[in-house]
Amino acid sequence: MAELHDTDVLFKALADPTRRKLLDLLHAHDGRTLNDLCEHLDMTRQGVTQHLNLLEMANLVATVRRRREKLHFLNPVPLQEIYERWIAKFEKPRLKALGDLKRRLERTDG
């Protein structure tokens, strides 16, 4: 069942190399079937299905039925939220610190 994307579910989904590889595969080519994804992984079909289910629960993968096929798409919306919540906010002070350091070092040199 789809969940409200809870940060714990999201980070747990990302904390696994196979699931990250699945995201990379979808990033390289979106809208893949389970068979297609299985070809790139040394793992049983059942194992891949389980990983995909976890990614779907975390809302990192969205699926669409097209005729008899189920296609998997990378959903970057939760990653954008991680970016805003956990990266952008820390990035600015760091860049400022780096800029200050550069200025200080250049002043000493001169």
Partner 1 sequence: MARSTFVYVTYIRTTPEKLWSALTDDVEFMKQYWFGVHCESEWKAGSSWKMVHPDSSITDAGEIVEADPPKRLVIRWRHEKKPELKAEGDSLCTMEIERSGTAVKLSITHTIESEPSQFITAVSGGWPKIISNLKSLLETGAAVLRDPYSAN
Positions touching partner 1 (CB under 8 A) are 2-5, 30-31, 59, 62, 64, 73, 75-77, 79-81, 83-84, 88, 91
The least CB distance from residue 77 to partner 1, in Å, is: 5
Of 85 and 103, CB closest to partner 1 = 85
Of 88 and 98, CB closest to partner 1 = 88
The least CB distance from residue 42 to partner 1, in Å, is: 26
Of 34 and 81, CB closest to partner 1 = 81
The least CB distance from residue 44 to partner 1, in Å, is: 26
CA distances from 105 to 42, 93, 94, 98, 99 (A): 51, 18, 16, 11, 10
Where on the phi/psi map is residue 32: left (φ > 0), alpha (ψ -120 to 50), or beta? Answer: beta
Give the integer Cα–Cα distance in Å for 38 and 96. 45
Structure tokens, 51: 């990983």
